[in-house]
């Protein structure tokens, strides 16, 4: 028997094991939930929602990564700051840095909770483009930063051809962006070459743990022009060196990944900053591809702008269904950015569909 997803304000019917999506987004203390660009860890029957603490005014990270817990996805207790910024000058996570899109996974071998997030260094805008990793012995933290940096320095992506590797394209020859020649060069790995030695850029990101326990870091790389999928080591704390690039020059970000009946699905956004755009969707029979593009999964009014939201995570529910999570950014006060959570339905061909109707009162099975 399938569970039903209904809104708090939807009609309450007699249903078993109902999951209700919050509409007020307040924690049990009555405070607005401050957990943006986040994701949910399921551990021992409880949900832990990690996200960016954002200030009421301004942009940079003043506090760190927040954590909330829940037994039902509706009532959220504030667990405090899971990873705090540092007061030490020059520290990688010094107050005033930018921490974005944190995701936490549990490693059964090491019994550690491992958090990855996008880190920008204080005062350097978005140029650092680092992936950062922090660990904890408990789900709620405190997490300790273990390292941050670019991805897989010195290593070519597995799916870059011998010819592309040999081409050694140089950005000095392609100073003007968005020309057809430049786009072709990006597709052939212009920025992979530029960043080979120091490592690939890593901005918007998510994590995915497969059924065999292998974990992957999926991130916007190459100046946000190309997504990369990198395998993590068995302890989930570093990259294994194995990675691919997908949809080069496709300009995709805010990636989410999930697997349904053997097919890997990725829902992400285009790159328009805080402004919403039409979501993109891809699928593959293996995480290593081949990946193919589908139309947006969103249906109904406002679907062309993803209902004003930008993807952040897809939560696999214990009963086999999936919950799509997104942010409705409010750049004038990021703290009060909203949340859009909707169940994912699969059409008769097994293709994901996301519409607002389904969140209101899904029919009981």
Residues of this chain that bind ligand GAL (CB under 6 A): 37, 100-101, 204, 253-254, 271, 273-274, 310
Q: Give min distance, CB of 339 to ligand GAL, in A.
A: 14
Q: For residue 62, report the phi and psi dihedrals to the nearest 5 degrees.
A: -105, -20
Name the CA dihedral angle for 122, 128, 131, 135, rounded to a multiple of 10 degrees. -30
Q: Which is nearer to ligand GAL, 276 or 297 (CB)?
A: 276
Name the CA dihedral angle for 357, 363, 364, 365, rounded to a multiple of 10 degrees. -120
Q: Which is nearer to ligand GAL, 102 or 189 (CB)?
A: 102
Name the CA dihedral angle for 157, 173, 120, 281, rounded to a multiple of 10 degrees. -50
Q: Which is nearer to ligand GAL, 140 or 277 (CB)?
A: 277
Q: Give min distance, CB of 358 to ligand GAL, in A.
A: 25
Q: Give min distance, CB of 274 to ligand GAL, in A.
A: 6
Distance CA 72, CA 140 (A): 17
Q: Which is nearer to ligand GAL, 206 or 237 (CB)?
A: 206
Nearest residue to ligand GAL, scored by beta-carbon proximity: 273
**Which position has the token pair 């997504």?**
227
Q: Give min distance, CB of 312 to ligand GAL, in A.
A: 8
Radius of gyration of the chain (CA): 20
Q: Which is nearer to ligand GAL, 177 or 274 (CB)?
A: 274
Q: Which is nearer to ligand GAL, 59 or 235 (CB)?
A: 59
Q: Give min distance, CB of 103 to ligand GAL, in A.
A: 13
DSSP string, 127-189: -S-EEEEEEESSTT---EEEEEE-BSTT---TTS-HHHHHH---GGG--STTSHHHHHHHHTT
């Amino acid at each position: 028997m399938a569970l039903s997803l209904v809104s708090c304000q939807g009609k309450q019917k007699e249903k078993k094991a109902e999951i209700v999506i919050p509409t007020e987004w307040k924690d049990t203390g009555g405070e607005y939930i401050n957990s943006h660009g986040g994701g949910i860890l399921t551990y021992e029957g409880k949900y832990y929602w990690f996200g960016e603490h954002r200030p009421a005014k301004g942009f940079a990270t003043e506090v760190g990564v927040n954590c909330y817990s829940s037994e039902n996805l509706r009532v959220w207790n504030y667990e405090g700051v899971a990873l705090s910024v540092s007061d030490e000058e020059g520290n990688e996570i010094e107050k005033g840095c930018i921490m974005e899109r944190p995701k936490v996974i549990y490693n059964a071998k090491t019994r550690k909770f491992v958090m990855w997030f996008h880190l920008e260094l204080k005062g350097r805008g978005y140029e650092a483009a680092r992936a950062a990793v922090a660990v904890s012995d408990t789900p709620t933290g405190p997490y300790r930063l273990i390292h941050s940096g670019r991805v897989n320095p010195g290593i070519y992506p597995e799916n870059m051809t011998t010819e592309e590797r040999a081409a050694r394209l140089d950005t000095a020859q392609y100073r003007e962006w968005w020309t057809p020649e430049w786009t072709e060069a990006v597709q052939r790995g212009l920025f992979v070459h530029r960043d080979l030695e120091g490592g690939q850029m890593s901005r918007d990101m998510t994590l995915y743990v497969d059924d065999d326990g292998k974990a992957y870091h999926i991130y916007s790389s190459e100046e946000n022009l190309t997504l990369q999928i990198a395998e993590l080591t068995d302890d989930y704390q570093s990259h294994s060196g194995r990675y691919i690039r997908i949809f080069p020059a496709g300009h995709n970000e805010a990636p989410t990944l999930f697997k349904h009946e053997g097919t890997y699905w990725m829902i992400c956004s285009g790159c328009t900053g805080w402004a919403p755009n039409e979501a993109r969707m891809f699928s593959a029979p293996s995480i290593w591809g081949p990946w193919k593009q589908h139309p947006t999964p969103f249906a109904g009014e406002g679907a062309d702008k993803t209902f004003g939201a930008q993807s952040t995570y897809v939560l696999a529910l214990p009963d086999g269904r999936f919950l799509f999570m997104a942010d409705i950014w409010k750049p004038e006060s990021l703290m009060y950015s909203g949340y859009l959570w909707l169940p994912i339905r699969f059409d008769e061909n097994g293709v994901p569909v996301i519409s607002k109707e389904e969140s209101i009162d899904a029919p009981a099975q």
